[in-house]
């Protein structure tokens, strides 16, 4: 494949549904504390894995976690529960992507499903030399895709403003 053909393939817009992922895991005793409640860090690892798969599907290349935005836990997870993660891209920049994830827990004995956690992760696509590389644009097809994209743009604006403020405070602590 020529370099131009490779670039064209990389920059071909992709639908949100092309990279969407659903992963499920049964929670075992090694995932939990002595009270039988699954560690938040175990859930966080599964979140990072699911979002990483969505980013990889979109880029078809290396992608690494750059940040986690708003990881909120709503309900506990217990040993024996089925943890299901639903991840998809919300926003694509030049080299980065925001991936949103919804985590649900199912009590396999009762069938009850609870919203367990939600998070937004930013990934950066990397080339073979581990430098940032361009990613395909995101094709927004549904009203839900467009809503999530608008919300992600606002989160990005806030993240960038916070980074700018942090850098200014590091240079001149008296202004903060």
DSSP 59-111: HSS-EEEEEEEEEEE-S--BTTPEEEEEEEEEEE-SSEEEEEEEEEEE-TTT-
In whole angstroms, how large is the CA radius of gyration of the chain? 18
| Whole-prediction pTM | 0.89
Residue % of the chain over a pLDDT of 70:
94
Give pLDDT, residue 11.
84
Domains along the sequence of the chain with CATH: 3-140 (3.10.129.10)
DSSP label at residue 129: T
Q: How far apart are CA 102 and CA 86, in angstroms?
A: 5
Beta bridge partners of 50: none
Express each pLDDT in 121-155 by its tens digit: 999 999 999 999 999 999 999 999 999 999 999 99
3-state helix, strand, coil in the chain (%, to 5): 40, 35, 25
Instruction: Give the mean pLDDT of 46-66.
Output: 97
Instruction: Give the mean pLDDT of 73-95.
Output: 97
Residue % of the chain over a pLDDT of 90:
84
Instruction: Give the mean pLDDT of 75-84.
Output: 98
Mean pLDDT value across the chain: 93
Q: How far apart are CA 83 and CA 24, in angstroms?
A: 5
Length of the chain: 176
Express each pLDDT in 2-55 by its tens digit: 555 555 556 899 999 999 999 999 999 999 999 999 999 999 999 999 999 999
Decide if 135 contacts 97 (C-beta within 8 A). Answer: yes
pLDDT, greater one: 70 or 18? 18
């Amino acid at each position: 494949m020529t370099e131009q053909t490779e670039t064209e393939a990389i920059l071909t817009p992709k639908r949100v549904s092309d990279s969407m992922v659903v992963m499920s895991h049964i929670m075992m005793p090694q995932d939990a504390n002595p009270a039988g409640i699954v560690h938040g860090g175990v859930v966080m690892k599964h979140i990072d894995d699911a979002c990483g798969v969505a980013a990889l599907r979109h880029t078809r290349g290396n992608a690494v976690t750059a940040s986690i935005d708003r990881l909120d836990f709503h309900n506990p997870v217990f040993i024996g529960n089925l943890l299901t993660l639903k991840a998809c891209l919300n926003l694509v920049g030049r080299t980065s992507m925001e991936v949103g994830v919804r985590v649900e827990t199912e009590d396999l004995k009762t069938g009850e499903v609870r919203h367990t956690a939600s998070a937004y992760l930013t990934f950066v696509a990397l080339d073979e030399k581990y430098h940032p590389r361009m990613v395909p644009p995101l094709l927004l097809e549904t009203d839900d895709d467009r809503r999530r994209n608008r919300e992600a743009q606002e989160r990005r604006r806030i993240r960038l403003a916070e980074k700018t403020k942090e850098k200014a405070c590091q240079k001149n602590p008296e202004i903060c």
